[in-house]
Amino acid sequence: MKRRGPVVLLPLAACTLTTSASGLEPLHVAGEPVRIEITEAASLLVNGDNRDSRPNQVSSLANDDWTMFYNRLNLQASSGRWQLSLRIDSAWFPASPDPTAIGLELVETRPRPLPPGAEEDPAYFRAKVKEAGTELSNRYIDWTYPAKYSLGYITPELEVTVGDVYAQLGRGLVLSVRKYDELSSDTTVRGGRVTARFGGGPGRLKVTALGGTMNPLRIDEASGRYLSVDDGVASGVAALTEAGMPRPAAGDDRAIELGYLAPATPTYAPDRLAAAQLEGTARGLKLGTQASLLDRQPALSPDLVRSSHRIVTASQSLELADLARHGNVYAEAAVQRLAVTGADDVTGHALYGSATLIADPVSVVAEAKHYRSFFPLLANVDVSRAREFSIVQYSAPPTTEAFWVDTEFEGFNTCVSGGRARANLQLKRQVSVFAWAGRYHTWAELAPNPTCETRDELLNRVWDLAVGTELGFQNRRSRAALTVGARSDDSAEPFATSFGPSTVYYRENYARYDVIAWLGGPFSLQLQGWHRRRYQALGRADDPWFEGFHLTGLEWSPHLSLAFGAEYDTNPQTPDTYFNAQVVVRPTTATSIALFAGQRRGTLRCVGGVCRVFPAFEGARLDLTARF
């Protein structure tokens, strides 16, 4: 099953220093010009000791000392109304951790004296080697596979695509499959989509239907882990859509018996989805009806959503795109029914609304939500063996918070009421100030609350406040944005902490800034940072801690960027400081080469409420991107 794709693709990567992004010379097929564009993105990641090691813990040692060559080759061809695209991903691991070395290191660092009842070193060593074998059984394995492919026929009235398609229906309550570069996540529906448009005057109608099996990205570059399917979970249509996708690493039966490797079991069971949307627009009013049906196999990691063999979600939306040039309004109401295997069905609902009001020099954006037992559509992933993929989901109910907020803990957004309003005051042409206030009541943060009981003992009340300014200078060649904010999260009733009962659940004060100062000619200086003082009663340090980063960058546009970063985290669970440097060279408009060297702290990164934990990084990373 091992494929040496990267070796084949290396020459391609090496010859990508192209002079422009104009694409290859057009070919002609049946008299039609064919435009071909190739994008090559190659990354070499050299991971050292990321300093997250803990005594007796295999998983943190398995994060150290590995090298990955990760290649993404995109081919796109278009001719008239036809579009063809193919993305082939390859991962090759020239170096990776060794179970025996992990076992030996754990013996060497084993805290002594041994606790009562502890096994002697040989048994301890053997157990840790086996555990490491399991941990590594789906990491650092070479793969080349067709990550995405599609063939489309596009006219103004009709779009037909076969293969991988992205989709968002409404504001993401019903369906949202998309790419999150920041989270190394890229999910599509592998099947087909048809969109038809009717009417060209004031009244228009758009009908979209799509279906297929869900196709998350299979290789996680942050951990070197991959998602696998086997024939047991990829039968029927999935046998076709999963052709060529990574399979479980099949180990020798006796080796498995001895515990060196986990059995070759899949870590992903492809979910089947059908969805449709009907959108009608007349006189600035847009009405949308959308629904999705998620049909799936027995859960690889049982939980309420993954154990639901069928989830139906439907919504009705209304949008007024222009309120007499004074703003716009959007509202969406959704219902969701989970048919849970082995438990009672769960029915939930969601209401979401947003409004923008403009009365110069003031503008206000307000968003509100009211969710009851309304869940994101989580992928059927074995999170015990592929925890990095636990974030794969096919919907993204709006949070109404700033997109980078990472403090909606546990099931916060599944049983919540609240909203946020942001007011912007334009003082001068290049000077504005803003402030926002968010207020939320959630009943699913202190404890899982799938039935969304709104009792006080489950209630947390949250304030999220911020003020800031956006400034422009030198005809906007220089600009600055500064935000200072605070968040307080209190439970309605005291809960148990390690230092007694408390109602203080979470506190944060922070400052964010992004300053670009034009230095003259093609040169500019960038200062960027986010500094936080945090306190969390459960789950982290007993005392408040500080964490954040500062980045100083110098830009010689468009040829060169230099950046130096410093990060810190005073939480006792982590090292205190991290330093790094990055250089980006753009020899041509179509080519860039980036080198990062140094350390990054492990962190929770969120985009619009979709979050994942990134392990700390220490080492170097070289990225080459070229289009031709």
CB closer to another protein out of 139 and 422: 139
Instruction: Say which residues have a Cβ less than 8 Å from residue 163's Cβ, sequence separation at least 6.
Output: 85, 148, 149, 150, 151, 190, 191, 192
- CA 433 to chain centroid, in Å, comes to 30
How many whole angstroms separate alpha carbon 542 and alpha carbon 363?
A: 41
CB closer to another protein out of 100 and 503: 100
State yes or no: cis peptide before 558, omega within 30 of 0: yes
* Strands 175-177 and 167-169, bridge-based pairing: antiparallel
Min CB(216)–another protein separation in Å: 18
Min CB(136)–another protein separation in Å: 5
- CB contact burial 578-597 (16+ within 10 A = b; e otherwise): bebebebebebebbbbbebe
In 498-522, where do the E strands start and end? 500-520
User: Which helix (H) or strand (E) covers residue 124, if one does?
Assistant: helix 121-136
Min CB(487)–another protein separation in Å: 17
Min CB(98)–another protein separation in Å: 6
CB closer to another protein out of 92 and 149: 92
Min CB(51)–another protein separation in Å: 13
Distances (CA, A) of 272 to 210, 212, 485: 11, 6, 42
Other CB atoms within a 10 A radius of the CB of residue 54 amount to 12
Q: Name the region of 182 (left: φ>0; alpha: ψ -120 to 50; beta: rest).
A: alpha
Measured at the alpha carbon of residue 447, what is the angle toward residues 509 and 573, in degrees to the nearest 5?
A: 50
CB closer to another protein out of 450 and 468: 450
Min CB(438)–another protein separation in Å: 22
Min CB(527)–another protein separation in Å: 33
Q: Residue 35 corresponds to which amino acid?
A: R
Min CB(390)–another protein separation in Å: 8
Min CB(340)–another protein separation in Å: 7
Residue that is written with structure tokens 């004074």 in the block = 326
Residue that is written with structure tokens 């009211």 in the block = 370
CB closer to another protein out of 8 and 196: 8
Min CB(427)–another protein separation in Å: 43
Q: Are 22 and 38 in contact (CB under 8 A)?
A: no
CB closer to another protein out of 475 and 498: 498
CB closer to another protein out of 430 and 451: 451
Instruction: Say which residues have a Cβ less than 8 Å from residue 341's Cβ, sequence separation at least 6.
Output: 298, 299, 307, 308, 309
CB closer to another protein out of 159 and 408: 408
Min CB(263)–another protein separation in Å: 6
CB closer to another protein out of 271 and 382: 382
Residue that is written with structure tokens 């084993």 in the block = 110
Residues in the chain: 628
Residue 502 corresponds to which tokens in the numbers above?
Answer: 């408390």
CB closer to another protein out of 201 and 342: 342
HEC string for 43-110 = EEEEECCCCCCCCCCHHHHCCCCEEEEEEEEEEEEEECCEEEEEEEEEEEEEECCCHHHHHHHHHHCC
CB closer to another protein out of 258 and 581: 258
Min CB(255)–another protein separation in Å: 6
CB closer to another protein out of 236 and 494: 494
In 97-202, where do the E strands start and end? 143-154, 158-165, 167-169, 175-177, 179-180, 185-186, 188-198
Residue 518 corresponds to which tokens in the numbers above?
Answer: 């034009």
